[in-house]
Structure 1
Amino acid sequence: MDMTSDGLETKAGAGSDVGALFAEFSRAFEEFKATNDQRLKDIEKRGSADGLIEGKIERLNAVLDGQKAAMDRVLVERARPLLDGKAAHDDGEYKHAFSAYVKRGEEKALSVGVNADGGYVVPGETETEITRLMTAVSPIRAIAGVRQVSGSVYKRPISVTGPATGWVGETASRPTTNSQTLAELSYPTTELYAMPAATSAFLDDAAVDVGQWIADEVNAAFAAQETTAFVTGNGTNKPTGFLAAPTVAEGSWEWGKLGYVATGTAGALPSSNASDVLIDLVYALKAGYRQNASWVMNRKVQGALRKLKDSDGNYMWQPAQTADGRARFMGFDLVEAEDMPNIGANSLSVAFGDFRRGYLIVDRQGVSVLRDPFSSKPYVLFYTTKRVGGGVADYDAIKLLKFAAS
């Protein structure tokens, strides 16, 4: 465990005991609140806070982040089911053939597992495991809508405006009303790949769980690339991120653009009543979306918002109530995504919305593996691919906070 100069733990030392990790996290947050209360009293009394207290606040923020990350790692590890030879059930001939293909390159006569370029489609439970682990470590995938498709493009018609209606008297004429306006959203899937390597000796080890090994190796690579694309991707050979969508001030919102609320100060929250602009952002979202809304921001922005209090003196940021839960801000779940920008002039550093309806991830069915024992001897490379697309599904379901004067 690492210690700060205050004796605070920056990495929880409770091993794999989730209960102990959560208890340490809770104690750190209580100390954070007490320290921040002192900081606020100093500001009220002297107009500024002591530098030592400011430094301790930042260290406590790092402690909270480190302890939450430690809990997340333990929970992901515990959630992994046993695969391949260690599983409680046998997936049959195909799974054994896949294992033989990965370990020794044996294809035999199992043509159902061979695709056009000579690779094997990953057995179903390994494919599911890769996706499930990415859900655990990829924050946007965990809250967005997800569709599985068999083709390369998913198209979705959407009604931008409903049919016009009107009240009429019993005998009055019924003029023709305008028809609804439809738009089509298209989500092409593009190839995401990872290429883990292993020695022949490693693969020959009978104890190796091949399916789990592939899932573990490609999981981190896939999740990191996916999350970046879902947030900031430009749509060129990758999904289109929600921050890549056109934006407009909320008062001028129109379909095809995401609305934003400006803080009124470039690169900062307002110097007084900072929470007001956050309340404005919450209520920029329609009630139908608000009930399932989440905040999305990175670690540093979350650290800044942890210091805020409401008009009754209560902290607006609250830790998760359970070890596997999410922190909440202003009563809504908070999702930490490191690809969100830091606070800066004109930055869109905070998103708030119903991402289940607002952002759609499209997965083409199947993950394939191509075994390559020649390109990087003595290592065997495994060219593992899946096809993923994504983009905004409902431009009214996500709102942004812009750190700008207007």
Structure 2
Amino acid sequence: MSKHMLPAKARGIVAVRADAGGDVTKILADLQKDWHEFKATQAQKDKEVNAKFDDVVTTEKMQRIDSSVSELQAAVDQANAKLAAMTANGGGAGGVKDQEYTDAFRAHFRKGEVQANLNKGAADEGGYLAPVEWDRTITDKLIEVSAMRQIAGVQTISGNGFTKLFNLRGTASGWVGEAAARPETGTATFGSMTFTTGEIYANPAATQQMLDDAEVNLEAWIAGEVETEFSYQEGLAFISGNGTNKPNGFLTYVTGGANAAANPLGAIEAKAAASGSAITEDELLDLIYAVPSAYTGNSRFVMNRTTMGVVRKLRDSTGRQLWEPSSQVGQPSQLLAYPVTEMPGMPDIALSSLPIAFGDFRRGYLIVDRTGVRVLRDPFTNKPYVHFYTTKRVGGGVVNPECLKVLQMAAA
């Protein structure tokens, strides 16, 4: 398999539609074939190492196949994300809920026309709320790109904040005799955490001539422009955001982090690795068993692609690979029988870094979405371009640190 073929495979799956199952089947078949070849090549490399002989041909072959496996697995993961987006959107179907308002909104986008029936979408600060159809397009693309939105809990709110109550327990009991007094016992208490939203924005532009072209699908175009900026900024913030005009990233709740003391349920525990540059099977198992069994049913590993490349080479004492590739659409790759989610914003393996997280993110991390995407049309600032200042309010933070654990590399 030549290197120049790899991007084509990846591109093939990106364009796959719900009715193109045959393409997905071929990608999966190629992935399984390359994975078996990778294992065989790695075994051959082990023999060379034991014989103190380094064949550069074998090394290059293993690197080439490893790259192919990475590309194919990424393609399958993207197809899985598309399926998740379709499921979240009720199968991808859905008609216009308010045709009159939608038509008025499109007229405002193309020519700046303000019609009376557009007022139902007017906001207190000015501008107009996007109709449901346009808003849903943005959300679907965020699900495709932002891995955190696929695995975390999501709460839509109508105001600027959201408060969640926590049961801190505390109810006490005691043993007594038949006729003994029953003094008052302790009572459970509640804690709370408030999530505020930060504003994320993009400001794409187009010429008026482009907007006048009836052949242009304006909603799809502007969604594509906004998607790149929104997904990139969100992805970083959900992992390491400092909470200032943005979400609080889950890594900031790790013991010693900026938000560790603020959570009423405590901090996310970090399990220490023995090395600052290598990971072992035992350390991954320690991470799994540090999560209470009540949460492991929906738990998964989270890491970036570079770390996945390291973990993919790990084997147990019998020589069996710990990592298994996808075998069917909708099924992610597996590590020690748990799903693996690639998250580009996770740190690389380095001294004192936090490259791997494990746990139930659906119950552990909450994304807070302020309802609506706001668009302000500006045809004056930069003639002949029309700018679409697009904003969305997003917040987030850890709601249950018990659900999540991270691996911390050694300091030296």
TM-score (norm 1): 0.88
Q: Residue 244 of structure 1: CA displacement?
A: 1.4
Q: Which residue of 1 aligns with 2:267?
A: 257
Change (3 A) 1:181 1:312: farther
Greater mean deviation of Cα atoms: 165-174 or 23-32: 165-174
Letter in 2 for 1:135: I
Task: Give 2:287's aligned amino acid.
Answer: L
Tell me the equivalent position of 1:148.
Answer: 156
Q: 1:207 to 1:335 in 2, by over 3 A?
A: same
> Equivalents in 2 of 1:167, 1:384: separation in Å?
63
Task: Give the match's secondary structure for 2:114.
Answer: coil
Q: CA deviation at 1:380?
A: 1.2
- The residue matched to 1:295 in structure 2 has which SS? strand
Match of 1:58 in 2: 63
Structure 1 residue 107 displacement after superposition:
0.9
1:219 aligns with 2:227: yes
| CA deviation vs aligned residue, 1:70-98 (integer Å, no higher than 9, x gap) | 4455676797799xxx9865741000001
Check if 1:354 corresponds to 2:351: no
Aligned partner of 2:203 in structure 1 is 195
Check the 8 A contact 1:143/1:355 in 2, yes or no: yes
Match of 1:239, SS state, is: coil
Tell me the TM-score normalized by structure 2: 0.87
State the partner residue of 1:31: 37
Q: Which residue of 1 aligns with 2:243?
A: 235
Does the CA-based 8 Å contact 1:196-1:383 persist in structure 2?
yes
1:127: Cα distance to partner?
1.0
Q: 2:405 matched to 1:399?
A: yes
Contact 1:301/1:349, CA 8 A, preserved across alignment:
yes
The residue number in structure 1 matching 2:260 is: none
Q: 1:291 to 1:181 in 2, by over 3 A?
A: same
Matched position secondary structure for 2:319:
coil
C-alpha spacing 1:80/1:288, structure 2 compared with 1 (3 Å): closer
Report the equivalent of 1:378: 384
Counterpart of 2:270, as a letter, is: Y
Amino acid at match of 1:315: Q
Alpha-carbon offset, residue 39 of structure 1: 2.5
CA shift, 1:23, in A, is: 2.1
Give the C-alpha shift of residue 307 in structure 1.
1.0
Counterpart for residue 9 of structure 1 = 6
Contact 2:73 2:333 in 1 (8 A): no
Distance in structure 2 (CA, Å) of the matches to 1:389 and 1:87: 28
Give % identity: 41
Find the aligned partners of 1:307 and 1:349 in 2 and give their Cα distance.
Answer: 16
**1: CA distance between counterparts of 2:65 and 2:176?**
64
Q: Is the contact between residue 10 and residue 71 of structure 2 (CA under 8 Å) also seen in structure 1?
A: no
Whole-Å separation in 2 of the counterparts to 1:49 and 1:307: 18
1:273-328 per-position Cα deviation (integer Å, ceiling 9, x unaligned): x2111111100000011111011000010111111123343221111122343111
Task: Output aligned runs, 1:314-353, within 5 Å.
Answer: 314-353=320-359
| CA separation of 1:395 and 1:90: change in aligned 2, threshold 3 A | closer
Structure 1: which amino acid aligns with 2:63? E
Contact 2:374 2:390 in 1 (8 A): yes
2:33 aligns to what SS in structure 1?
helix
Gap regions ≥5 residues in structure 2: 17-22, 258-262
The residue identity in structure 2 corresponding to 1:403 is: M
Matched with 1:295 is 301
Give the alignment partner of residue 390 of structure 1, picking from 379, 385, 396.
Answer: 396
Report what 2:146 is aligned to. 138
Helix, strand or coil at the partner of 1:193: strand
Q: How does 1:30-179 map to 2 (within 5 A)?
A: 30-43=36-49, 45-46=50-51, 50-72=55-77, 91-110=98-117, 111-179=119-187
- Is the Cα–Cα contact under 8 Å of residues 268 and 401 in structure 2 kept in the other structure? yes
* Contiguous gaps of at least 5 residues in structure 1: none
Shift of 1:358: 0.7
**Superposed displacement of residue 266, structure 1:** 2.3
RMSD: 2.9
Query: Quick one: which amino acid aligns to residue 22 of structure 1?
Result: L
Match of 2:277 in 1: 267
Secondary structure of 2:116's counterpart equals: coil
- Structure 2: how far apart are the matches of 1:242 and 1:76? 21
Cα distance in 2, alignment partners of residues 144 and 127 from structure 1: 20
Q: Which amino acid aligns with 1:105?
A: G
- Contact 1:10 1:67 survives alignment (8 Å): no
Q: 1:88 to 1:158 in 2, by over 3 A?
A: closer
Query: Does the Cα contact within 8 Å between 2:73 and 2:326 map onto a contact in 1?
Result: no
Conserved 8 A contact 1:257-1:395: yes
Q: Which amino acid aligns with 1:226?
A: E
Which stretch of structure 1 is more off in the superposition, 346-355 or 210-219?
210-219
* Change in CA separation of 1:351 and 1:87 when aligned onto 2, cut-off 3 Å: closer
Counterpart of 2:231, as a letter, is: A
Paired with 1:54 and 1:174, the residues of 2 have a C-alpha distance of: 75
**Alignment-derived partner of residue 368 in structure 1:** 374
Whether the 8 Å contact between 1:194 and 1:218 is mirrored in structure 2 is yes
